Structure 1
Amino acid sequence: MAGLRDAREHRRAEILAGRADAVGRQRARGKRTARERLDLLLDGGSFVELDLFRRQGEGPATDGVVTGSGTIDGRRVFVYAQDFTILGGSLGAAHAAKIHKVMDLAVANGAPLVGLNDSGGARIQEGVMALDGYGGIFRRNVAASGVVPQISVVLGPCAGGAAYSPALTDFTFMVAGSAQMYLTGPDVIEAVSGERVTHAELGGAQVHGTRTGVASFVHPDEESCLADVRHLVSLLPSNYLEPAPSAPSRGAADDPRPRLAELVPAEPNRPYDMLEVVAELVDDADVLEVHEDWARNVICALARLDGETVGIVANQPSVLAGVLDADAAQKAARFVRFCDAFGIPLVTLVDVPGFLPGTAQEYAGVIRHGAKLLYAYCEATVPRVQVILRKAYGGAYIVMDSRSIGADVSLAWPTNEIAVMGAEAAVNVVHRRDLAAADDPGALRGELVERYRERLMHPYYAAERGLVDDVIDPARTRIEVARALAMLRNKSVAQPARKHGNGPQ
């Protein structure tokens, strides 16, 4: 027995250490090993590894992926980390089977799944079995969607079919400089089209963080990236049947914030940074913004309000005046659906002049993408609180969680203007003949604009008709939102009997 135990320990130590030359090359690229990454992600000493000795045929042990379970702040998560030092982290049958097992265990135990991706792609030597392995991952991604949170972390190459798994998960983290994600690599693109492009230009973290919207978060290094994964997990429920973990109450229901009245100009066309408003609204100004650099005219963020996790959707007047466009609608729609799937209440801050006009937007499918946001809000059954700060014009007002599409509580500041369009534009349409015939069109326009504002756009117009519950002092916004959420805490909505809806794609 002593000899067997010594042999076992020697074999384990050899596997855990890895090949020195391969580990050296990994570190020379500025990348950590799979096990070092798991040490950063998980609580110390909590990792329980599965399938350490698994291999394909006579290949190396682990088959290029480390799988198992551990804890983050004491809460169970399941993980896999592809090991680029073994066969380039390529995916074959045994590699895929290990990932399948840990995904199944995550769902069975109602715990989040975190995948660390660093792989050369499908193992060509195994042919169709590698493709079959990817298919099994994708099927499980879909089966787990809305059941447990799924987080992808891209720390190296993630090319070809492998890129579809991060695209199917709830959040994707990427590390600038080392992460790459694309379906077809630069060499193939050049051979087919003659176009020359680098790996970073084609699918680097900045591309997916600013242009495609594939990356939810972009970080400069692995340490800050994995620390933010831990922070995200701390805000999320373990599964759709459990509430998100709470922090101690912060007395938000009796916490005025006078600075809110100073941050937002009363004039409807003056810009300001909505993130400053969000920071005043939530606990400790701690805001985890999703897709920070993509579709920046809308803000999607997770935070805590009075100790409870909330999802915040807000127009950003400092970018494109806060208008909605195709990208912003897509970004907000998916975020709303995620929050609804996992029981996270929604707070929507509205200051929107409308949808961005122009042929580029119409050709980009702004109708279809705007309908995604409309569908997401209409479908959502979580507590929903709307706050209208200033402008709320046209269809964009409806889409930003108006009372008409199901907001539970609608609050407005005294600066609110809710209308089909701005007063000047409305007067130009309604009174165009009178203005054309007037001796002094400018004076008449000014008179008509003022009359329109007084009759249809005063701050209490919507409240008088039951579309706004209260016109509040801006300084009391944190108080009133906290009270509304407390009132809605036990909200329950019966869903219609159907297989599933068919929302716009």
Structure 2
Amino acid sequence: MTVLSEVSQVAAGPADGRGCVAELHQIRARALAGPGEEATAAQYARGKLTARERIGLLLDTGSFREVGQLRRHRASGFGLEGRRPYTDGVVTGWGTVEGRRVFVYAHDFRIFGGALGEAHAAKIHKVMDMALAAGAPLVSLNDGAGARIQEGVSALAGYGGIFQRNTRASGVIPQISVMLGPCAGGAAYSPALTDFVFMVRDTSQMFITGPDVVRAVTGEEITHNGLGGADVHAETSGVCHFAYDDEETCLAEVRYLLSLLPQNNRADPPRVQCTDPPGRRCERLAALVPADGSRPYDMAEVIAEIVDDGEVLEVHERWAGNIICALARLDGQAVGVVASQPKALAGVLDIEASEKAARFVQMCDAFNIPLVTLVDVPGFLPGVGQEHGGIIRHGAKLLYAYCNATVPRISLVLRKAYGGAYIVMDSQSIGADLTYAWPANEIAVMGAEGAAGVIFRRRIAAAPDPAAARARMVKEYKAELMHPYYAAERGLVDDVIDPAETREVLIASLAMLRTKHADPPSRKHGNPPQ
């Protein structure tokens, strides 16, 4: 019996309001019971939770308000006759995370494998429109098998509507995609359009064409996880920002990320009460960073020493490890940290590092998150592969992102900043509001060894002892053009600070810049390098 026929029977019965309400509650309970215990057991056997269990972990307890519970598809034929389950395979609605409104949709893999059809897509379109109108974050819990083949082109058109809404919402509200199962074909483009992508190892995969198609076309043998698993996208492709071992941890980290983001582009990120003293001296920094510019160290430890309580959420932690992009707090205020990582490729900038940092800078600027850039960069990575791969074009992406950013921007040179990489890493010349340096900094076109070899090549070659002459010229170049106060004397560094005072200086600077207002030029949009 359908819900409509049941409702008709109730309406035709005795005019007892309480009885009608009780019976209607029973009808709703039956309608929302889901596909049954067998389908749920199969979901658990795959190591996955149900859609409603996932929503329960994401949102504050009891806060979820569902919309479209009784929606069903209207398709017929091709095996869909008599199979019209309620929700149509996606649960949509809104709730709160730490008391702040969040919209969510979750594919129910137990119904048609979570495949998207016309009614399914319409529900997603509605909740996306609601999120944009309300100015609140949107989280998608993805666990679907792509377009519903039985519904043909109507299903494909549903994806087009999702992509259009992803694009309209970009930079307006935070969009987070959580991959908790398969995501194949055109469906994978929606997560790629969002701000952050989370994945769970072993149970989630993303790819345009699956292993069977790859085998048929190229002859390559590969597993689902080997082609598009969480580790592949976290380490190799850069599609995934965060990867976790289980759904519970993954969804807890989504909640934490939301706590660092504003509701929309018109709001500031939420401030929290800070128990870490703003004036705390960071005496460990001098020991963490070797004075010798050729010695590596872990910039992640430097960041943890500076920020509130050492708490850092690193974005794309395992991709392009020569640069760090992280969200943290300074005196309770959310900040985006971009930092060279000397322990990976000596902290040089390359194609992947430039892309990673550029997208992060754009995200922070879109959502009013101040930027702190920690610089210890020897330059761009040289090599035929980098040049042919478009390092000029990709490096320009980071340059464009910084130049376009209007949020408060502070840069700090820890040791060295050479060549074009110095300019690109938010130097004062491209618009940093404040630029600081530690006393042992070296800001120059290139390292002293290389510079002396170019400038004094003939004198070195003609000297009786070329090695001694070269050492003398290197020392002379350092003394004249690379001493720690050279850039400060020319106004390219606002102050040379004691490393132990770094936290205090950054917090005071951010407090001063809190009311910064910058009007971008009047234009439809820029044309960033691709």
Whether the TM-score (by the shorter chain) exceeds 0.5 is yes
Task: Indicate the residue corresponding to 1:314 in structure 2.
Answer: 339
Task: Indicate the residue corresponding to 1:404 in structure 2.
Answer: 429
Residues 421-444 of structure 1 show CA distances to partners (whole Å, capped at 9, x for unaligned) of 000010111111222222211000
User: What is the TM-score of this pair, normalised by structure 1?
Assistant: 0.99
Deviation at 1:20, TM superposition (A): 1.2
Letter of the structure 2 residue corresponding to residue 271 of structure 1: P
Residues 33-86 of structure 1 show CA distances to partners (whole Å, capped at 9, x for unaligned) of 000000100000000000000010261110000000000000000000000000
Task: Indicate the residue corresponding to 2:33 in structure 1.
Answer: 17
Deviation at 1:11, TM superposition (A): 3.3
Question: Alignment partner for residue 187 of structure 1, among 182, 195, 212?
Answer: 212
- 1:217 pairs with 2:242: yes
What pairs with 1:276-295 in structure 2 (closer than 5 Å)? 276-295=301-320
State the distance in 2 between where 1:293 and 1:11 align: 49
Deviation at 1:14, TM superposition (A): 3.1
Task: Indicate the residue corresponding to 1:27 in structure 2.
Answer: 44
State the distance in 2 between where 1:405 and 1:162 align: 38
Deviation at 1:92, TM superposition (A): 0.4
State the distance in 1 between where 2:213 and 2:23 align: 47
Question: Alignment partner for residue 115 of structure 1, among 127, 137, 140?
Answer: 140
State the distance in 2 between where 1:397 and 1:252 align: 31
Task: Indicate the residue corresponding to 2:464 in structure 1.
Answer: 439
Please identify runs of 4+ aligned residues in structure 1 that moved more than 6 A: none
State the distance in 2 between where 1:291 and 1:253 align: 28
Paired residues in the alignment total 505
What pairs with 1:482-493 in structure 2 (closer than 5 Å)? 482-493=507-518
Task: Indicate the residue corresponding to 1:452 in structure 2.
Answer: 477
State the distance in 1 between where 2:292 and 2:406 align: 34
Residues 124-155 of structure 1 show CA distances to partners (whole Å, capped at 9, x for unaligned) of 01111001000000000000001100000000
Deviation at 1:455, TM superposition (A): 0.4
- Asked whether the 8 Å contact 2:235–2:318 carries over to 1, the reply is yes
Letter of the structure 2 residue corresponding to residue 27 of structure 1: Y
Deviation at 1:360, TM superposition (A): 1.1
- Asked whether the 8 Å contact 1:252–1:305 carries over to 2, the reply is no
Letter of the structure 2 residue corresponding to residue 155 of structure 1: L
Residue 94 of structure 2 aligns to a residue whose secondary structure is strand
Letter of the structure 1 residue corresponding to residue 44 of structure 2: R
State the distance in 2 between where 1:226 and 1:248 align: 24
Task: Indicate the residue corresponding to 2:65 in structure 1.
Answer: 48
- 1:150 pairs with 2:140: no
Deviation at 1:10, TM superposition (A): 2.9
Letter of the structure 2 residue corresponding to residue 399 of structure 1: V
Letter of the structure 1 residue corresponding to residue 406 of structure 2: T
State the distance in 1 between where 2:206 and 2:24 align: 38
Deviation at 1:351, TM superposition (A): 0.2
State the distance in 2 between where 1:296 and 1:504 align: 23
State the distance in 2 between where 1:388 and 1:250 align: 27
- Asked whether the 8 Å contact 1:146–1:342 carries over to 2, the reply is yes
Question: Alignment partner for residue 439 of structure 2, among 381, 406, 414?
Answer: 414
- 1:235 pairs with 2:249: no
State the distance in 2 between where 1:366 and 1:180 align: 29
State the distance in 1 between where 2:21 and 2:233 align: 49
Residue 254 of structure 1 aligns to a residue whose secondary structure is coil
- 1:8 pairs with 2:24: yes
Residues 10-38 of structure 1 show CA distances to partners (whole Å, capped at 9, x for unaligned) of 33323443211111100001100000000
Task: Indicate the residue corresponding to 2:77 in structure 1.
Answer: none
Task: Indicate the residue corresponding to 1:371 in structure 2.
Answer: 396
- 1:201 pairs with 2:226: yes
Letter of the structure 1 residue corresponding to residue 230 of structure 2: A
- Gap regions ≥5 residues in structure 1: none
Deviation at 1:257, TM superposition (A): 1.2
The percent of aligned pairs where both chains have the same amino acid is 66
Greater CA drift, 188-197 or 297-306: 188-197
What pairs with 1:236-255 in structure 2 (closer than 5 Å)? 236-250=261-275, 252-255=277-280
Letter of the structure 1 residue corresponding to residue 38 of structure 2: D
- Asked whether the 8 Å contact 1:252–1:478 carries over to 2, the reply is no
- Asked whether the 8 Å contact 2:276–2:309 carries over to 1, the reply is no
User: What is the TM-score of this pair, normalised by structure 2?
Assistant: 0.94
What pairs with 1:288-307 in structure 2 (closer than 5 Å)? 288-307=313-332
Residue 245 of structure 1 aligns to a residue whose secondary structure is coil
Letter of the structure 1 residue corresponding to residue 478 of structure 2: R
Q: Which has the larger radius of gyration?
A: 2
Residue 336 of structure 2 aligns to a residue whose secondary structure is strand
- Asked whether the 8 Å contact 1:257–1:476 carries over to 2, the reply is yes
State the distance in 2 between where 1:9 and 1:194 align: 56
Letter of the structure 2 residue corresponding to residue 17 of structure 1: A
- Gap regions ≥5 residues in structure 2: 1-16, 75-81
Greater CA drift, 373-382 or 250-259: 250-259
Deviation at 1:256, TM superposition (A): 1.2
- 1:38 pairs with 2:55: yes
State the distance in 2 between where 1:11 and 1:429 align: 84
